[in-house]
Amino acid sequence: MDFPNSICYLNGEWLPLAQAKVSVLDRGFIFGDGIYEVVPVYYRQPFRFEQHLARFERSAREIGLANPLDRAGWRAVVDGLVSRLGEEHQFVYWQVTRGVAKRDFAFPPHATPTVFAMTSAFVRPSREQREGGLAAVTRADERWLRCDIKSVSLLGAVLARQYAAEQGADEVVQFRDGFLTEGSSSNVWAVRGGTVIAPPRDRLILEGIRYGLITELCAKLGIPFEARRLSQAEVAGADELMLTSATREVLPIVRLDGQPVGSGRPGPVYAKLRAGYDQAIEALRR
Instruction: Give the binding site for ligand PMP (CB under 6 A).
Output: 38, 182, 185-187, 206, 208-210, 244-246
List phi, psi (to 5°) of 129.
Answer: -70, -40
| Residue (147 or 191) nearer to ligand PMP, CB | 147
Query: Given the complex with ligand PMP, which of 114 and 186 has the nearer CB atom?
Result: 186
Residue (51 or 195) nearer to ligand PMP, CB: 51
Q: Write down the least CB distance from residue 51 to ligand PMP, Å.
A: 8
21 among known catalytic residues: no
DSSP 8-class letter at 26: B
Task: For the chain, state the CA radius of gyration.
Answer: 19
Least separation in angstroms between CB 23 and ligand PMP: 26
Using CB atoms, what's the residue nearest to ligand PMP? 208
How far, in Å, CA of 157 to CA of 165, rounded?
Answer: 12
Task: Give me the numbers of helices (H) and strands (E) for the chain, helices first please.
Answer: 8, 15
CB burial string 264-277: b at 16+ within 10 A, e below: eebbebbebbbebb
Q: 42: Cβ–Cβ under 8 A, 6 or more apart, which residues?
A: 88, 89, 122, 281, 284, 285
Q: Which is nearer to ligand PMP, 96 or 101 (CB)?
A: 96
Q: Which residue among 21, 102, 150, 272 is the active-site one?
A: 150
What lies within 8 Å, CB to CB, of 229 at 6+ separation is: 179, 180, 199, 200
> What is the closest distance, in whole angstroms, from the C-beta atom of residue 253 to ligand PMP in the complex?
14
Shortest distance (Å) from residue 208 CB to ligand PMP: 3
Residues noted as catalytic: 150
